[in-house]
């Protein structure tokens, strides 16, 4: 009898420890509490006009490839690794990611597939004249999810009597790369201090009996107001912007979330923020579903 | 008579106390862009003041570094200062700046320094212009390693 009791206690203890071990850190990956900030993924892409095939453009134009490589080199010199666009393009081709014939869609698809947070677009223009040849480079950096502009610069190679367009493209990049990165770094500092932007889209399942005017919770407030009050409390430094609210949808097109969990100091991400929002909606007695794509959170209420 | 003495003494004491109060040491902004030879380097023309040539030259060199670190140079690729907040950095990293300016650590980032004018006598001081070439890439790395600035990224 006693033996059985001991065995049961031992089993219970084992089960208990088993439960704890679900979230305990693996000895092989234990860093002793060190936290390294997750860096944004940056991808450098060429500019394409509407209808242009991005693959053909890159494969056919060595000067564009030189400009892109030179830009990536500038990131490398600052100790930052970028996502390689050509490699992603190849991987996408191999995995048959491209389903549409629309070429502009291919660029969007590669950006989405790469998981890049920021993309840098490079436009190379060659001007040939009697007084020489020059290259103008237009560099723009955007946040992929929100479209927020991070840095914009125009580089000039100067006029030379040469046919070496690649060399001129390099000169054009060199003339602005440092300044371009410095402006980006200023924006990064702003993000470190004030949080990064995420988009939150809350909508309803087709079969849902609720809408944004439904009176929910113990205080019986409309759902849209409940959501805004939650956002007011939980957006980092109370910084959020509502794009619009209708009966079927509510879109927060810019909600700031911190890079680090303010309590634990661990890295914080849109998924963790989405979970908190999901818990809140669940707490109101609703059945939410959540989906996170990059920096966009989709909540669907059933 | 006694009252006069008292008031003179109190004026002396007040003036003495005022001179004891901490003051921000201003530095000359007479630093101009000369040329850029290779990526990561910059040549500047800087003016310095001092009692003698040695003092004036090192003042010019230090001014060039201070402008790059705390002010930035408009019209160049370093138009944004390397250090965002001068006062904050100076109070948090006083040891670094002591070594950098007072113990001459800045010289390790100086690729060349050439006097481009004669020593000019002025009222109470002497003035000189120096062309200084700075390796700002390694200077930035040093600032990153000593955590005065963040590495590129978040």
Instruction: Tell me which chain A residue has its CA closest to the CA of residue B140.
Output: A78
> Which of B84, B152, B154 shows the shortest C-beta gap to A181?
B152
Check pLDDT > 90 for residue B52.
yes
Token pair 């950006």: residue:
A111
Give yes or no: residues A89 and A172 share one domain: yes
ipTM of this complex prediction, to 2 decimal places? 0.75
Flag residues of chain A having pLDDT under 50: 17-21, 102-104
Per-residue pLDDT, averaged over B32-42, amounts to 89
Taking the Cβ of residue B37 and every Cβ of chain A, the question of whether any pair is shorter than 8 Å is answered with no
Tell me: do A170 and A205 sit in the same domain: no
| Of residues B53, B47, B60, the one with CA closest to residue B110 | B60
Residue A20: inside a domain, yes or no? no
| Domain match, A223 and A180 both | no
Question: What total number of domains does chain A contain?
Answer: 2
Q: What sign results for the dihedral spanned by CA atoms A109, A115, A118, A124?
A: negative
* Residue A241 included in any domain: yes
pLDDT of residue A104: 47
Is residue A70 assigned to a domain? yes
- CB proximity A150 to B under 8 Å: no
Distance from CA of A24 to the nearest CA of B (A): 27
Nearest CA-CA partner of A201 in A190, A215, A212 = A212
CB of A38 within 8 Å of a chain B CB? The answer is yes
- pLDDT for A49: 81
> Domain end: A151, A166, A192, which one?
A192
CA nearest neighbour of A245 among A276, A204, A275, A286: A204
Q: Does B137 touch chain A (CB under 8 A)?
A: yes
Q: Which residues of A touch B77 (CB under 8 A)?
A: 175-179, 182
Any B CB within 8 A of A179 CB: yes
Look up the domain containing A255 and give its range.
195-301
A188/B78 touch (CB, cutoff 8 Å), yes or no: no
Q: What pLDDT does residue A98 have?
A: 57
* pLDDT at position B17: 45
Judgement on whether residues A144 and A208 belong to the same structural domain of the protein? no
The verdict on A201 and A232 lying in the same domain is yes
Domain boundary among A161, A192, A223: A192
**A4 occurs within a structural domain:** no
């Amino acid at each position: 009898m006693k033996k059985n009791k001991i065995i049961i206690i031992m089993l219970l203890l084992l089960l208990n420890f088993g439960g704890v071990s679900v979230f305990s850190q693996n000895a092989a990956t234990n860093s002793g509490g060190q936290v390294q900030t997750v860096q944004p993924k940056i991808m450098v892409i060429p500019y394409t006009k509407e209808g242009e095939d991005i693959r053909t453009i890159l494969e056919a134009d060595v000067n564009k490839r030189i400009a892109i490589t030179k830009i990536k080199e500038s990131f490398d010199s600052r100790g930052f690794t970028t996502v390689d666009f050509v490699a992603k393009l190849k991987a996408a081709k191999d995995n048959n990611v491209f389903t549409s014939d629309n070429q502009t869609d291919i660029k969007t698809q590669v950006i989405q597939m790469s998981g890049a947070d920021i993309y840098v677009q490079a436009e190379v223009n060659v001007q040939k004249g009697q007084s020489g040849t020059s290259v103008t480079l237009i560099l723009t950096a955007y946040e992929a999810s929100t479209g927020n502009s991070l840095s914009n610069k125009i580089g000039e190679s100067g006029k030379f009597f040469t046919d070496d367009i690649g060399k001129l493209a390099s000169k054009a990049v060199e003339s602005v790369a440092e300044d371009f990165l410095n402006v980006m770094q200023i924006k990064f500092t702003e993000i470190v201090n004030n949080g990064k932007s995420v988009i939150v889209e809350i909508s309803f399942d087709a079969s849902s009996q609720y809408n944004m005017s439904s009176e929910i919770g113990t205080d019986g407030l409309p759902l849209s107001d409940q959501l805004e009050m939650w956002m007011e409390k939980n957006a980092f430094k109370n910084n959020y912007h509502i794009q619009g609210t209708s009966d079927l949808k509510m879109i927060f097109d810019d909600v700031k979330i911190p890079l680090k969990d303010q309590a634990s100091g661990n890295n914080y991400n849109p998924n963790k923020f989405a979970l908190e929002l999901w818990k809140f909606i669940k707490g109101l007695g609703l059945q939410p579903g959540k989906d996170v794509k990059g920096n966009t959170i989709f909540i669907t209420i059933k | 008579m006694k009252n006069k003495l008292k008031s003179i003494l109190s004026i002396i004491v007040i003036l003495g106390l005022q001179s004891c109060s901490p003051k921000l040491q201003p530095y000359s902004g007479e630093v101009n862009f000369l040329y850029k030879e290779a990526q990561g380097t910059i040549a500047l023309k800087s003016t310095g003041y001092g009692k003698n040539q040695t003092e004036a030259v090192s003042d010019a060199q230090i001014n060039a570094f201070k402008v790059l670190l705390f002010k930035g140079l408009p019209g160049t690729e370093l138009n944004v200062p390397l250090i965002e907040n001068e006062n904050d950095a100076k109070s948090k990293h006083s040891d670094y700046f002591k070594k950098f300016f007072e113990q001459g650590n800045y010289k390790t980032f100086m690729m060349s320094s050439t006097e481009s004018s004669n020593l000019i006598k002025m009222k109470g001081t002497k003035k000189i212009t120096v062309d200084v070439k700075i390796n700002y890439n390694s200077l930035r790395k040093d600032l990153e390693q000593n955590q005065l600035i963040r590495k590129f990224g978040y």
